[in-house]
Structure 1
Amino acid sequence: MRTVTRNLVVAVLAVVAVLLALGALPGYLGSGDPYYVEATTAEGDGAAVVADNLSERRFPYAFEALGSLEAGEEPARSEAYYEGPVGFKESFTHTPFDEFGEFESRNRDAVERDADSPVGDVAYLEYDGQRYRLEIVRGTE
């Protein structure tokens, strides 16, 4: 193998390894404040996103919070999501904020917006005939 070809192959493999690391590494970053999705049952007949046809794989934070509520855990919350340094992680990983943005795109009236937040902090879901209030909370472990 010629030196130029070998160097080109090594360079391409190095670039591929760096790109794979950038895609996987941010999910393991655990710095910053934790954010959780907390679930409570909600009374009333207001607007809600119908969650019966939503995928648990696409909305893991919401469904984990609902599962905690059904299991009787107090508080009923999802796994912690850590922001990471300087917004780097959000570009590469799935966040609870992504889920609430998707809820808002499905039914704008089902999400209550906070003026300081880029997406809604509270969303109402209807799942298995029950209405739930989901909220993104910032907290400690």
Structure 2
Amino acid sequence: MRQITRRAIVGFALVVLALLALGALPSFLASGEPYYLTATPTDADGPAVDVTNLTERRYPYLVEAIDTGRSAPYRRGPVGLKESFSHSPFDERQGLVARNPDARRDGAVLVADGEDRYLVEVTRS
């Protein structure tokens, strides 16, 4: 095998291993207080984001918050690396605001799940 081919294969293997490590790394990077996505029932009127057909695969924190009132904890990474590689409640809140910017309410987002309405916000413990 030529030396250039060997170097290319070793370089490719190192890149693949680095990408695999970055995929597993975010679950190990957790520090600080936990953040939760909370859903509080409300009778507020006005524009709301319709979340009736949103899937748990796309919005896992939101679905859990609507079912139980509060999602599973999310801890930020120590140097901001984790946020680049993992899904967070902050991403879900931003996604809800992007669906309907008029649904914002003082740091929370008004969502409608069928006939029920909730104020959804990111909170600390």
Number of the residue aligned with 1:96 = 89
Distance in 1 (CA, whole Å) between partners of 2:11 and 2:112 is: 51
Number of the residue aligned with 1:78 = 71
Letter in 2 for 1:58: R
Instruction: Say whether residues 1:137 and 2:106 are aligned partners.
Output: no
Unaligned runs of 5+ in 2: none
Deviating beyond 3 angstroms after TM superposition, the runs of 4 or more aligned structure 1 residues are none
Number of the residue aligned with 1:24 = 24
Secondary structure of 1:135's match?
A: strand
How far the C-alpha of 1:61 sits from its partner, in A, is 0.6
* 1:65–1:77 Cα contact (<8 Å) kept: yes
Number of the residue aligned with 2:62 = 62
Number of the residue aligned with 1:71 = none
How far the C-alpha of 1:65 sits from its partner, in A, is 0.8
Match among 103, 108, 111 for residue 110 of structure 1: 103
Structure-2-length-normalised TM-score: 0.90
* 1:39–1:77 Cα contact (<8 Å) kept: yes
Number of the residue aligned with 1:9 = 9
Aligned length: 125
How far the C-alpha of 1:63 sits from its partner, in A, is 0.5
Unaligned runs of 5+ in 1: 69-75, 114-120
* 2:30–2:78 Cα contact (<8 Å) kept: no
CA displacement 1:61-110 (0-9 Å, x = unmatched): 11111111xxxxxxx21011111112111111111111111111111121
Structure-1-length-normalised TM-score: 0.80
Secondary structure of 1:86's match?
A: coil
Q: CA RMSD in A?
A: 1.5
Identity %: 48
